Structures are given as structure tokens and as C-alpha cells.
Amino acid sequence: MSNGKKTAKKSTAQKTLEIFKKTKAFLEGHFLLSSGLHSSKYVQCAIVLQYPTFAAYLAKNLASKFNSKKIDVVVSPAIGGIVIGQEVGRAMGKRSIFAERQEGQLTLRRGFELKKGERVLVVEDVLTTGGSIKEMTKVINKTGAKIVGVGCMVNRMAKKPNFKVPFEYLMKLEIKTYGANECPMCKDGKIQLVKPGSKTKKK
């Protein structure tokens, strides 16, 4: 029986956060981010994406945000974007490829190619500074393909990015980051600095 109260429908962001917490992908500690910044919190997307059901659900929701766009191919930067990029491609019924680093530079390898005029959706797992998207833009522009959208599961960017194409995400998290010289956890010295995915102590 109904108690007369309506249950508020959860937003995509709320559902996404619940999944991250349920899978223990929302971490707290002292982390060295790929950007070189430090943070007391970290979102480990790989933990969520190890579960195909959750990966498919999140990708379907992200893909739906680009329903109005004609997409030919999904492109992601390795390594973090590979799984979600593949799942978004599956949800859209499009091929999915990735760029990886060679001598420090992102490049298309393994026979992956983009044709001139192909419409590209760039997909990442989490964005903190947007640096990976800038690198991907250079890679894609060299091929003559056209970026028509950028998507990610988690938006951690402090400022609104200027990607010059539609930018969509599943949830936004405002997690403060610090430079190494101003990091309060480093000054306190009680919590070991860890690069996510590694237990190596950083001095």
C-alpha cells in the first residue's frame, strides 16, 4: 500500500555515486594524481569497471547524453579510458579504439586508424585537469577526423572546460587538490603518499 508520499527519483549523478560507494571505488587517503597534484580523496574507476553489469549501466547512461549527435567512432586514452570507451561504443553500436603513449606521447597504434571526416566521441573515465583531452585533440586533429563530443564518468575539474564541443559526464565531484609544496597531508606526514594502483611510497 502507498503511504501517500512520493519517492523522489534519483538523478544519474546520485545513482553513479551510489555505485562507486557500493564497489568501494571512492577512496580516502593521500593520493598522487596523474596531473602531479595531491588529494585526500580519489575515485578509482577501474574498481567499478571490473563489474560488467555496472560498466554497461554507466556506459549506457553516458552514451544516452549524446543521442542527438552523429557518432562514427569512440576514442579513448589508455589506460583508464579503454574499458568505459569500449562499453560506450557497445551501447552506441559503434567501433571503439584507444590511443596510448609511445615515447611519452599519445598516439594511435595497433593498426587503429581514423579517417578524414569521421565524427569522434572522446571518452575518459575521470577528468581532473582536462590535459588528456587536449592531448587526444591533437592526435585526432592530425588524422582529419572531427571531435563532436567529450564524455566522462566523473568530472573533477574545478573550472568549466573549453573543449569547444559538447561535454557530458555522469557525476561531478568537487575534491580539493594541492601542489606538492602546499599539500597539508605531506606537511602532516602521517599518511603515506600513494599513487593509485600502486603501493609505492613517493618521497
What grid cell was written down for 63? 552514451
Q: For position 153, which CATH number holds?
A: 3.40.50.2020
Cell reading at 32: 598522487
Position 77 in a domain = yes
Assigned domain for 198 exists: no
pTM: 0.81
Does a cis peptide bond (omega within 30 degrees of 0) precede residue 79? yes
Residue 163 DSSP SS3: coil
96 within a domain of the structure (yes/no) = yes
- Give the tens place of pLDDT for each residue, 61-87: 999 999 999 999 999 999 999 999 999
98 touches 74 (CB < 8 A): no
Residue 1, domain member (yes or no)? no
- Whether the per-residue pLDDT at 5 is higher than 80: the answer is no
* Dist CA 42 CA 134 (whole Å): 22
What share of the chain has pLDDT > 90, as a percent? 71
Residue 98 covered by a domain: yes
The 10s digit of each residue's pLDDT in 99-135 is 999 888 898 999 999 999 999 999 999 998 888 899 9
Domain annotation covers residue 179: yes
Number of separate domains in the chain: 1
Residue 196 maps to a domain: no
Residue 24 domain flag = yes
Confidence of residue 151 (pLDDT cuts 50, 70, 90): very high
Domain of residue 161, residue span: 12-188
Q: Are 201 and 193 in contact (CB under 8 A)?
A: yes
Q: Which three cell numbers stand for residue 152?
A: 566522462
